[in-house]
Chains A and B, each alone.
With several copies, the nearest count.
Chain A
Amino acid sequence: MPTPSSQDSFLDTNLAAAFPILQQKIYQKSLIYLDNAATTQKPIQVIQALQQYYEQYNANIHRAAHTLSSIATRNVEDTRAMIQQWINAATTEEIIFTQGTTAAINLVAQTYAKQQLNAGDEILISLLEHHANIVPWQMLAQEKGVVLKVIPVKTDGTLDMDAFDQLLTAKTKMVALVHISSTLGIINPIEQIIQKAHARHAVVLIDGAQSIAHMPIDVQQWDVDFFVFSAHKAYGPTGLGILYGKKQYLEMMPPYQGGGGMVAHVTTHQSKYQPLPYKLEAGTPPIASICAFQEAIRFIQTIGYTKIQKIEHALLVYAQELLQKIPAITLYGTTDVKKKIGIIALNVQGMHHLDVGLLLDARGIAVRTGLLCTQPLIDYWQVDGMVRISLAVYNTFQDIAITVQALKNIIQKHGT
């Protein structure tokens, strides 16, 4: 199997070297990690930053009376400022730390939407959504009588924009949409959607869990109202998510949780809340993860999105080309590489996705299988699961070549 030649000079970088886990063996085979949409691995800088935090300045933040606390507080705020610049938010007050994408979406559903939407108002989601962008709205629908409408997809998995135009009405008060499908890798035309939604005075939340590590984000240019993502899917530590919200919306929101750090004045009968962003951050945040996330951002920025996209695009093109040549493999969704990032969902004819996953695993290749937390989309294809290959910037042509060869062997032995 030929691998692309060295004319692609941008491929020289051995990014994997910075990732200790990738130097590991699984069943005596080198680990090939292709489950990046679930969580990415972490470069050594991030791991060391965690260690540094705990060995040098671990302390609780806010109202600091001592040096460690002061250093920790400054580091947390530095991360906030880095994120603000990274995604081009207008101010640091618009950056809220949460436990993850899921917590961030629930926060918006339970504060902004719960307060602003009334029974009969409509929320638009799509068939591409991750469960994290379905269930919170269902829970709200149940509680408040708002109505959940679903933008269908076309047979190639892309959003049905005609249907969107039909579904978007004066009743639509909120559009909650995934930026990039975690199952198919398809990039939604969010700029167009935001424009249309705004023309109808609907507020837009974009689930950027799958975009943050793979393409530049510009919340102001897109004029998006809420944008959410998880640190652990962008080379950062677990337990941390980011909610970006336009200040005007965050300000009108009631607090989500009550506790230390989010209050300015407390008596037993009532409390005055802190200004943004603290109003929405109750209790001790995941301080170590916040501090170490700086290094993940730095990792991404040092490579640069241009190069990241170039590498991942080349890997995707290569992988799809090889996979399309295997008759026993069904690929789901469009294979148009202009419309997607490095996520490939497939099934092997006559084999169960779980068996394929386990057989790949025995060869040291980590992929995800099953419903992929997007059951409505999987149901749409009328299968009971898929095998998902998802790429990160440290993956190599060799990773792809070995994986495709493994799939071929598996098909030869066990396929029908």
Chain B
Amino acid sequence: MAHDIALTDILQRRQKIMDAFQFLGEDQQAKLEYLMDLGEALPSLTAAQRSEENKISGCMSKVWLVHREEKGVLILAGDSNTVITKGLLSLLIQLYTHQKPKIIIDHDFSWLQTIGLYQIIGAQRANGFAHMINRCKMVALRYYKQKV
């Protein structure tokens, strides 16, 4: 599944994710399978990219995030040694890639509660997910500060 970068508006992208989970309703197993599908579809990083520097600490599994800027927007890619975490990362990238740093910095993640993700991935992984979100915001902040 490629990321729909055509949807430039972050709120539209968010809606798309919410719709997908809403469709799956209360079926936790299906949500997990969906996350795994996302994870399996996300292209892997090269061994070189899976460096200590790119690693996000605080997650149960190993997670890497790479980034570059292109014409004022941030381009993100990532990988993980577990498929479900890769799926989570994929959600994040889906939302954030090809966005302006300021938009990433300002985005409020409280809507995640509504899609029941925390229930299915559990407290510990939710914690790890928060670390991923943080890393994205930190990266965005760095680019943003360079510019201003």
* Interfacial residues, chain A to chain B (CB-CB below 8 A): 27-28, 62-67, 69-71, 73-74, 77, 351-352, 354-355, 358-359, 361-363, 370, 384, 413-414
Contact = CB atoms under 8 A, between A and B. Distances in A.
A358 B124 contact: no
A62 B26 CA distance: 26
A77 B123 CA distance: 10
A355 B83 contact: yes
Contacts of B31: 362
Contact of B123 (A73, A351, A352): A73
A362 B28 contact: yes
A358 B88 CA distance: 13
B81 interface: yes
Contact of B32 (A64, A73, A352, A359): A359
B32 A358 contact: yes
Given A354-B60, A354-B61, A370-B60, A362 B29 contact: yes
Contacts, number: 62
B84 interface: yes
B130 to A, nearest CB: 13
B122 to A, nearest CB: 3
A354 B26 contact: no
A362 B122 contact: no
A64 B85 contact: no
Contact of A413 (B27, B33, B81, B84): B33
Nearest to B28: A27
12 contacts: A62-B124, A63-B124, A64-B123, A71-B123, A74-B123, A77-B123, A354-B61, A354-B84, A354-B85, A358-B121, A359-B29, A384-B81
Q: Please classify how large the interface on chain B is, using the bins under 10, 10 to 19, 20 to 34, 35 or more.
A: 20 to 34
Given A64-B123, A362-B120, A27 B85 contact: no
Contacts of B81: 352, 384
The list of the 9 closest CB pairs from A to B, nearest first, reads A70-B122, A352-B82, A362-B29, A27-B28, A74-B123, A362-B32, A354-B82, A70-B123, A73-B123
B36 interface: yes
Interface string B100-144: 000000000000000000011111110000000000000000000
Given A27-B28, A63-B60, A370-B60, A352 B83 contact: yes
Given A63-B60, A64-B124, A370-B60, A351 B83 contact: yes
B120 A414 contact: no
B26 A73 contact: no
Contacts of A358: 32, 84, 120-122, 125
Given A70-B123, A77-B123, A354-B60, 11 more contacts: A28-B26, A64-B123, A73-B123, A73-B124, A352-B61, A352-B81, A352-B82, A354-B85, A355-B83, A355-B84, A362-B32
